[in-house]
Chains A and B, each alone.
Chain A
């Protein structure tokens, strides 16, 4: 699937066609539309994404009204959608054709756009078969919103199964094969022992000498998935380590406990940053005992001498009609969002490649929070931090109950990424 062939012409066309194909009930006098507001009128922002996703699954075309009332959804009034909204406590409105026409006029005149969504993307989550002792924000968001997904891990990735999916999520994985560098600090913990045993066995099963080598191969397959047109969304340490793994072909960046040999002290100078998706020229952390990989992360949560306090990050505003992709990714009812830690919390500006689009940053700070870019025919989006509603998530903490955070602006950003691949493809104007 060529996902790069995406975007805005269709959106503009939809805005200019007040009724178009969607006005199935026009002229009946009854409400022909279901508007799902995404501003403060919405009672459950996160489940609203699920409603849109399930409508797409049923073959209903949904319009994403970019920058209109927090990024609302508009779909034909159909009983299944109304039932879905009632069951899940999602606020909806029933505008008639006249009001929809006025909405479209408003969209046409402002920094807004109507992007047609046409197909529910096939979603895969990269996760080991066992449960890790930390939660996964994306899996929780998908479960809560009711978006279907499959789990894949190293054997599936190496076996070529990624080609059957549109969208892939990575969470806390350490693609440098060093078990998040927890080996020394959590020595003896049963979950760590199981993680090492499982990864070692998988590496052996797939024919690799050690885990770092096998994880690098997995990272390369993921990069190839994006290059062929896939959508990649990564959070926390998967962002940083994926790029480190990609850039370290032929360079030993793993500690002795992971591959039997110490890290190459000159590794930073030998990295092939042209193979990385987002980062370049990072300084690598040489100590095997410090749970940090490089200066890509600005917050360094586990390095006491370097740890930076949490602030807030601000979403950038983009031109909806000219830059609909970035606009879709930042749809929200809040523009300033409290920050949250992860093993990789943020991305320092000086390590970003020039072509990277910054979607959110902390004003005045030397780091960014949410970034996006293209690779081949696909796109990637990196979001720093672990759990938007548990800013200091610790190993072993209970998973976050999203029914207590139905308006979470941080989780909305995750769900923006899930719906974004559903947007109608169009040739990019150059």
Chain B
């Protein structure tokens, strides 16, 4: 081996040895930092820099340790040494700029930017660091001045567009911020999400200006952004129309944009609102048009469900007809479920059952049973109880018993309903279904008769959506029962229906009629309902008196905590929820 080669190998080995020696020191410093011991971490990072002045990890670690200790100024010397030792400018100069920005003076800060810019002509990074440090100090005027310098020197009017957008928006210059965000998105599409987040909180008065500006953008990006913003601002259908008007011709790109709009809708606080569901249906329909075969069928079924949820039965039916009545064969269970739901929503139990039977061979047995129960309930709501019973005859599951119990109730079979609902147990179905079942059982157990067709008729009227007839029927049935044997409970139920209908005087009368000493199991609930109603009507003194009476009279009732909450609201002791 020549002398030169030997020398080289010695130097390389020495270098590797030094690097290995540094590793534990750096790890120790990072550990101290993780433990929150910033003073010790700072010393540990310093010891690494003492050997390797240009070590980027140690310099950045030192910065993280010194800033929380309010010792930013101590970074000056290590940052300068790191630059001299050849640290990457994106580390050495960046730290130096942040230090000068924190401790001043401004001409030193400017000098650091200039030196870095001279090393990397045409690069935005030095200016971005300068702007970022100014924004961090809350000095937007300095940030804007730095952006102006960068644009002049780089010769690009759209340089540092994201930073310019942020400062403009923070200044309340929403239209300027919009222009800058469009420029930023043109440079990198990923800025779309940041733009959405920053422009969404725009005050109502400036929104038309923002939209006007976005719609003027010829590239289509502006309309896309406008569409999502309009949807977030409470007009999802209008938002979809803007998106649709800017869709690219290529199907793949168009579907991607539509899917992103659907995601934005899903994340919107008003995702469950009718208009959002309608917009979802429209977007899914637009996807169906651009896809083929199975995917299109699935999109149509989902669109049908969304339209149905929005109450747009005509569009829902159009989607189902487009999918074709024979398409259930081979369609996913969710698609068949959608069709069944839409048809049941329209009261078309016969068509729903026909489609269900057509798809039976391809559906897993559990899926079939779920849909069969829904169809059975659809028959029951139409009053065709025999058809419902026939569909449920072979269903011995607890879910089946729950539905069978409700069907029995609609027929006035109090005993049969009670037995089946009790057998279904407290955990079957969703939490809401279980709670409703428990409430029904509580009511039925107070009625001693095995059969009460009038009560069944009242529940059937309610299921058919004829709440006025239901109230009349419940009150009529209550008149024939002693208060403690279900009479008071039926009046309470009738009062709740009147409350939901907005017929407050009738609700108040019925709650008072249900509040009887002879029915101590019903009276606290009636008083609580009455108290809440009075709070909502602004009759606070009466509400307070009612709720106080309830709490003091029925102090062991499980409803007392709810009554205390309502009392707090009546008194203004807690924020209204």
Partner-B contacts on A (CB < 8 A): 83, 86-89, 143-146, 184-185, 187-190, 287, 289-291, 302, 304-306, 308-309, 398-399, 401-403
A127–chain B nearest beta-carbon distance, Å: 15
A87 & B571 in contact (Cβ 8 Å cutoff) = no
Cα-based distance from A188 to B172 in the complex (angstroms): 5
B568–chain A nearest beta-carbon distance, Å: 6
A146 & B571 in contact (Cβ 8 Å cutoff) = yes
Cα-based distance from A306 to B70 in the complex (angstroms): 6
Cα-based distance from A185 to B548 in the complex (angstroms): 48
B545–chain A nearest beta-carbon distance, Å: 11
A87 & B561 in contact (Cβ 8 Å cutoff) = no
Which residues of A sit under 8 angstroms from B572, Cβ to Cβ?
Answer: 143
Contact A308-B575, Cβ < 8 Å, known A86-B555, A87-B548, A403-B568: no
Which residues of B sit under 8 angstroms from A289, Cβ to Cβ?
Answer: 137-141
Which residues of B sit under 8 angstroms from A402, Cβ to Cβ?
Answer: 573-574
Cα-based distance from A291 to B139 in the complex (angstroms): 11
A136–chain B nearest beta-carbon distance, Å: 12
B548 & A401 in contact (Cβ 8 Å cutoff) = no
Contact A290-B552, Cβ < 8 Å, known A143-B572, A399-B575, A401-B575: no
Cα-based distance from A278 to B172 in the complex (angstroms): 38
A188 & B575 in contact (Cβ 8 Å cutoff) = no
A87 & B573 in contact (Cβ 8 Å cutoff) = no
B101–chain A nearest beta-carbon distance, Å: 9
Does B565 lie at the interface of the complex (its beta carbon under 8 Å from any beta carbon of A)?
Answer: yes
B573 & A143 in contact (Cβ 8 Å cutoff) = yes
B567 & A87 in contact (Cβ 8 Å cutoff) = yes
B575 & A398 in contact (Cβ 8 Å cutoff) = yes
Contact A87-B564, Cβ < 8 Å, known A143-B572, A306-B70: yes
B544–chain A nearest beta-carbon distance, Å: 9
Does B102 lie at the interface of the complex (its beta carbon under 8 Å from any beta carbon of A)?
Answer: yes
Q: Give the residue name and chain of the A residue nearest to B561 (CB).
A: A89
Partner-A contacts on B (CB < 8 A): 67-68, 70, 72, 102, 136-141, 170-172, 203, 548, 551-552, 555, 560-561, 564-565, 567-568, 571-575, 577
Cα-based distance from A87 to B574 in the complex (angstroms): 15
Q: Give the residue name and chain of the A residue nearest to B171 (CB).
A: A187
Which residues of A sit under 8 angstroms from B170, Cβ to Cβ?
Answer: 185, 187
18 contacts between A and B (CB under 8 A): A83-B552, A86-B551, A86-B555, A88-B564, A143-B573, A187-B170, A189-B172, A287-B139, A289-B139, A289-B140, A304-B136, A305-B72, A306-B70, A398-B575, A401-B574, A401-B577, A402-B574, A403-B565
A144 & B568 in contact (Cβ 8 Å cutoff) = yes
B209–chain A nearest beta-carbon distance, Å: 13
A185 & B552 in contact (Cβ 8 Å cutoff) = no
Q: Give the residue name and chain of the B residue nearest to A400 (CB).
A: B575
Cα-based distance from A187 to B140 in the complex (angstroms): 11
Add 17 more A-B contacts to A146-B573, A401-B577 (CB < 8 A). A83-B552, A87-B548, A87-B551, A143-B572, A143-B573, A144-B568, A184-B138, A185-B138, A187-B170, A190-B203, A287-B139, A289-B137, A305-B102, A305-B137, A401-B575, A403-B568, A403-B573
Which residues of B sit under 8 angstroms from A403, Cβ to Cβ?
Answer: 565, 568, 573-574
Across the A-B interface, the 3 shortest Cβ-Cβ residue pairs: A188-B172, A289-B138, A399-B575
A305 & B575 in contact (Cβ 8 Å cutoff) = no
Cα-based distance from A401 to B567 in the complex (angstroms): 14
A164–chain B nearest beta-carbon distance, Å: 23
Which residues of A sit under 8 angstroms from B140, Cβ to Cβ?
Answer: 184, 289
Q: Give the residue name and chain of the A residue nearest to B139 (CB).
A: A289
Majority DSSP secondary structure for residues of B touching A? helix
Which residues of B sit under 8 angstroms from A144, Cβ to Cβ?
Answer: 568, 573-574
B86–chain A nearest beta-carbon distance, Å: 28
Cα-based distance from A184 to B141 in the complex (angstroms): 10
B272–chain A nearest beta-carbon distance, Å: 20
Cα-based distance from A86 to B555 in the complex (angstroms): 8
Residue picked from B139, B555, B573, most chain A C-beta under 10 Å: B573
Cα-based distance from A304 to B133 in the complex (angstroms): 11
Q: Give the residue name and chain of the A residue nearest to B98 (CB).
A: A305
Q: Give the residue name and chain of the A residue nearest to B552 (CB).
A: A86
Contact A305-B561, Cβ < 8 Å, known A185-B138, A188-B171, A290-B137: no
Which residues of B sit under 8 angstroms from A184, Cβ to Cβ?
Answer: 138, 140
Contact partner of B172 (CB less than 8 A), chosen from A89, A187, A398, is A187
Which residues of A sit under 8 angstroms from B577, Cβ to Cβ?
Answer: 401
Which residues of A sit under 8 angstroms from B136, Cβ to Cβ?
Answer: 304-305
A308–chain B nearest beta-carbon distance, Å: 7
Cα-based distance from A134 to B568 in the complex (angstroms): 21
Which residues of B sit under 8 angstroms from A189, Cβ to Cβ?
Answer: 172
Q: Give the residue name and chain of the B residue nearest to A144 (CB).
A: B573
A165–chain B nearest beta-carbon distance, Å: 21
Q: Give the residue name and chain of the A residue nearest to B142 (CB).
A: A289
Cα-based distance from A190 to B67 in the complex (angstroms): 35
Q: Give the residue name and chain of the B residue nearest to A188 (CB).
A: B172
Q: Give the residue name and chain of the B residue nearest to A399 (CB).
A: B575
Cα-based distance from A185 to B139 in the complex (angstroms): 9
Q: Give the residue name and chain of the B residue nearest to A146 (CB).
A: B573
Which residues of A sit under 8 angstroms from B555, Cβ to Cβ?
Answer: 86
B242–chain A nearest beta-carbon distance, Å: 26
Which residues of A sit under 8 angstroms from B137, Cβ to Cβ?
Answer: 287, 289-290, 304-305
Which residues of A sit under 8 angstroms from B573, Cβ to Cβ?
Answer: 143-146, 402-403
Contact partner of B138 (CB less than 8 A), chosen from A146, A291, A309, is A291
B551 & A290 in contact (Cβ 8 Å cutoff) = no
Residue picked from A87, A146, A398, most chain B C-beta under 10 Å: A87
Cα-based distance from A239 to B68 in the complex (angstroms): 25
Q: Give the residue name and chain of the B residue nearest to A50 (CB).
A: B573
Which residues of B sit under 8 angstroms from A290, Cβ to Cβ?
Answer: 137-138
A180–chain B nearest beta-carbon distance, Å: 13
Which residues of A sit under 8 angstroms from B203, Cβ to Cβ?
Answer: 188, 190
B426–chain A nearest beta-carbon distance, Å: 27
Which residues of B sit under 8 angstroms from A187, Cβ to Cβ?
Answer: 170-172
A308 & B68 in contact (Cβ 8 Å cutoff) = yes
Q: Give the residue name and chain of the B residue nearest to A403 (CB).
A: B574
Cα-based distance from A302 to B136 in the complex (angstroms): 10
Cα-based distance from A27 to B572 in the complex (angstroms): 41
Q: Give the residue name and chain of the A residue nearest to B140 (CB).
A: A184
Q: Give the residue name and chain of the A residue nearest to B205 (CB).
A: A190
Cα-based distance from A304 to B132 in the complex (angstroms): 12
B139–chain A nearest beta-carbon distance, Å: 5
Cα-based distance from A414 to B464 in the complex (angstroms): 55
Cα-based distance from A44 to B34 in the complex (angstroms): 39
Cα-based distance from A304 to B134 in the complex (angstroms): 11
Which residues of A sit under 8 angstroms from B141, Cβ to Cβ?
Answer: 289
Q: Give the residue name and chain of the A residue nearest to B203 (CB).
A: A190
B540–chain A nearest beta-carbon distance, Å: 14
Cα-based distance from A398 to B551 in the complex (angstroms): 29
Cα-based distance from A290 to B137 in the complex (angstroms): 7
Q: Give the residue name and chain of the B residue nearest to A44 (CB).
A: B564
A132–chain B nearest beta-carbon distance, Å: 14
Q: Give the residue name and chain of the B residue nearest to A302 (CB).
A: B138
Q: Give the residue name and chain of the B residue nearest to A291 (CB).
A: B138
Which residues of B sit under 8 angstroms from A398, Cβ to Cβ?
Answer: 575
A10–chain B nearest beta-carbon distance, Å: 32
B332–chain A nearest beta-carbon distance, Å: 41
Cα-based distance from A185 to B137 in the complex (angstroms): 11
Q: Give the residue name and chain of the B residue nearest to A83 (CB).
A: B552
Cα-based distance from A402 to B568 in the complex (angstroms): 10
Which residues of B sit under 8 angstroms from A83, Cβ to Cβ?
Answer: 552
Which residues of A sit under 8 angstroms from B172, Cβ to Cβ?
Answer: 187-189
Contact partner of B67 (CB less than 8 A), chosen from A86, A88, A305, A309, is A305
Which residues of B sit under 8 angstroms from A305, Cβ to Cβ?
Answer: 67, 70, 72, 102, 136-137
Which residues of A sit under 8 angstroms from B72, Cβ to Cβ?
Answer: 305
Q: Give the residue name and chain of the A residue nearest to B571 (CB).
A: A146
Q: Give the residue name and chain of the A residue nearest to B174 (CB).
A: A188
Which residues of A sit under 8 angstroms from B560, Cβ to Cβ?
Answer: 89
Which residues of B sit under 8 angstroms from A88, Cβ to Cβ?
Answer: 564
Cα-based distance from A189 to B171 in the complex (angstroms): 10
A346–chain B nearest beta-carbon distance, Å: 15
